[in-house]
Structure 1
Amino acid sequence: MKLFCCSACGHVVYFENVLCERCNHALGFEPQSLEMLALESADGIWQAAGSNGSGRWKYCGNYTFGVCNWLVPGDSPDALCVACQHNLVIPNLDAPGNIALWQKMEQAKRRLFHTILQLKLPRTTRAESPEGLAFAFRTTGADQSQPVMTGHEDGLITIALVEADDAEREKRRNAMGEPYRTLLGHFRHEVGHWYWDRLVRDGGVVAECRAVFGDDEEDYGEALQRHYANGPKSSWQEHYVSSYAGAHAWEDFAETWAHYFHIVDTLETGGEWGIMLKPEADRSGLLAVDLDFQIFDEATTIEHIARAWTPLTLALNSFNRSLGHQDLYPFVLSPVVIGKLGFIHDLVHGRIGRRRADSQQFVSTAA
């Protein structure tokens, strides 16, 4: 995630801010430019501060509930921003606590979409395609009696609202024996299934993907049942980014996709903060790295990314241990996993399957 500045006074602000603490200008995120704009009220609408009337904006309709700070062009017929247009089911806002949980959901979702926008990936909506990307934030299952199952089906990503409750999510993490479980991780994993359909299936590269991730035609239900009954595959660390990735080729792809998003977003954050690592104890220089490079540049290789990621995660884990927390990134990337990440890297940059022009067409349609 890049660092943002108030466009009026230059003060560093957070991605979620709606007010500059220095100059008191209203703030909104403009998804076309990927910038945080300082705003001034003008005749019931907003204009960019100091713009002499140019650049008129309105907040996303969900700003009213305090869950979104993204902007929509002032003359647009759309009430919702490009991220909230993908919401199909939102929580019951009359139920106590639901708005606070929904706010956390939307914060994670907007960070997901920031990366999607950075990578210029397709983001068709349900209004544009029956298999368009959509989100349902539920407190009960579709029949109102069963618990919510977080997952993906034909473009619809369902996430249990209770996952936004930190204590409940930690309880589930321990019960499932998972080393890592975050709300943002859910979004990144589940959207990976949708992009398998868009970029692999529709992109005509099933065979290429199968050669890397395995047989996607294996019975999915049986594979998951076997995984939960027998536990992780032996020596899974050599071949998969997580034990769950070994359950089925689709889960391997989605887990690897999620980790790719973890990696590029965190490396961009490190670069924005000007982080350079040069541990004095590292006399070989293997852990020395400068994060000042363009992570989303198509010329950046997976080798460059992996070379930067390893020392950064070692440093972050060391910081967490010093504060008495568990490792921030409790995973080890084997050479095989780095190869799988390289497939994702090439896929999102249009080097596998349909070329970037196809993705750009989807982006233009959804804009």
Structure 2
Amino acid sequence: MKIFNCNNCNNIIFFENDICGYCNSLLGYCNEEEKIIAANPGTDFRENRTTLKYCRNHEHSACNWLIPENSGFEYCEACQLNSVIPNIGDEKRLEEWRLIEFAKHRLIYSLNKLQLPFVFQQKDRKDLKLQFRFLGPGTNSKNGQQVLTGHLNGVITLNVEEADDLKREKARMQMGEKMRTLLGHFRHEIGHFYWEAIILPNQENLRQFREIFGDERKNYSEALQEYYKKGPAKDWREFFITKYASSHPWEDWAETWAHYLHIMDTVETAYYFGVKTEPKVSKDKQLLSSGITINPYKESDFDAIVNEYISLTIAINSLNRGMGLSDIYPFILNNKDISKLGYIHNLLLNNQGKTF
């Protein structure tokens, strides 16, 4: 994620800000220009002679994106993707939804950086369109049944209770997961969407996928039942990025895709902050030293990206431990993981601006 500055006072500001903490100017994110702009006196936003307005969800403090005033739309690109939102008349659900939107907008930012479309026309099949449903038990869900987070035919469903830190942490512990976040959910489920969009319809992509991740024609339900019954194989660390990735090739792809987005976002953030690590006690300083000089969205060499990422996360994990917190990235990437991540990077890089 980039960092920004207020074009009124030059103060540093961040992606979710809608007001400058220094000069009190109203702020909005201009998606097309990838920058945050300050309002002129009288709360008038202008960019390239175009008058802009807030997305309608700004009135709920759930979005700070701007759209052209004469566009005919009330919602920004990210909010237009919502098909169902929680009952925002319920204060608790409203706060959960705000947190969900903050995470979802970060996801959309990353997808735009990767030049990934949200609608795919497919031969002999209905167009695949990305949509989001945010459901709360007992409110939007049918008959009060448990809401399961997942993806189906372009629709990503998220249980809004994932925005409750206590409930999400409880679920993380019960599932034996090292990390569970709202943004992580989005990154995982969007992986399933893009598998259906760019792998399934393309025979060459599908062939490469099966060669790298395995044959997805393996019965999915039976594979998950087997995984939850017996757990992962003892040697899973040699082949998969997480335990869950070992359950089925689809989940291997989605978990790897999510970690790819983790890496890209983290390295971009470090790049814009000018982060540099140079341990004073390492025998092999080259191993852990890193000046983050790479904007990952403009770098073709994934090995260069991941090398900087590994050095960076070792430093950040150590900082977290100094505060008594868990590691920010509690995973060890092996050569197999890096190969899979590199495949995704090259796949996207080689198809930027194309329809796959």
Q: TM-score, normalised by structure 1?
A: 0.91
Matches within 5 A, 1:63-212: 63-124=58-119, 130-140=127-137, 142-204=141-203, 205-212=205-212
Matches within 5 A, 1:253-264: 253-264=253-264
User: Structure 1 stretches (4+) deviating beyond 3 angstroms?
Assistant: none
The residue type paired with residue 108 of structure 2 is F
1:99 match: secondary structure = helix
1:210 match: secondary structure = helix
Q: Is the 8 A contact 1:135 1:157 kept in 2?
A: yes
Q: CA deviation at 1:130?
A: 4.7
Residue 236 of structure 1 corresponds to: 236
Residue 37 of structure 1 corresponds to: 37
CA RMSD of aligned residues (A): 1.8
Moved more, 269-278 or 141-150: 141-150
Q: CA deviation at 1:125?
A: 8.7
> Please, which of 45, 48, 71 is the counterpart of residue 47 of structure 1?
45
Residue 346 of structure 1 corresponds to: 346
Q: Is the 8 A contact 1:85 1:125 kept in 2?
A: no
Residue 21 of structure 1 corresponds to: 21
Residue 223 of structure 2 corresponds to: 223
Moved more, 197-206 or 331-340: 197-206
Residue 287 of structure 1 corresponds to: 288
Q: Is the 8 A contact 2:300 2:349 kept in 1?
A: no
Map Cα deviations across residues 72-95 of structure 1 (whole Å, 9 max, x no partner): 111101111000111010001122
Q: CA deviation at 1:202?
A: 2.8
Q: CA deviation at 1:311?
A: 1.2
Residue identity over aligned pairs, in percent, reads 39
Q: Is the 8 A contact 1:109 1:184 kept in 2?
A: yes
How many residues align? The count is 348
**Partners of 2:334 and 2:280 in 1: how far apart?**
26
**Partners of 2:127 and 2:295 in 1: how far apart?**
35
Q: CA deviation at 1:203?
A: 3.8
The residue type paired with residue 135 of structure 2 is R
The residue type paired with residue 303 of structure 1 is D
Residue 365 of structure 1 corresponds to: none
**Partners of 2:133 and 2:120 in 1: how far apart?**
13
Q: Is the 8 A contact 1:47 1:54 kept in 2?
A: no
Moved more, 281-290 or 76-85: 281-290
**Partners of 1:293 and 1:318 in 2: how far apart?**
22
2:129 match: secondary structure = coil
Q: CA deviation at 1:232?
A: 1.1
**Partners of 1:216 and 1:186 in 2: how far apart?**
21
In the alignment, structure 2 segments of 5+ residues that lack a partner are none
Q: CA deviation at 1:41?
A: 5.8
Q: CA deviation at 1:64?
A: 1.1
Q: Is the 8 A contact 2:267 2:295 kept in 1?
A: no
**Partners of 1:144 and 1:346 in 2: how far apart?**
45
Q: Is the 8 A contact 2:130 2:193 kept in 1?
A: yes
Residue 358 of structure 1 corresponds to: 354
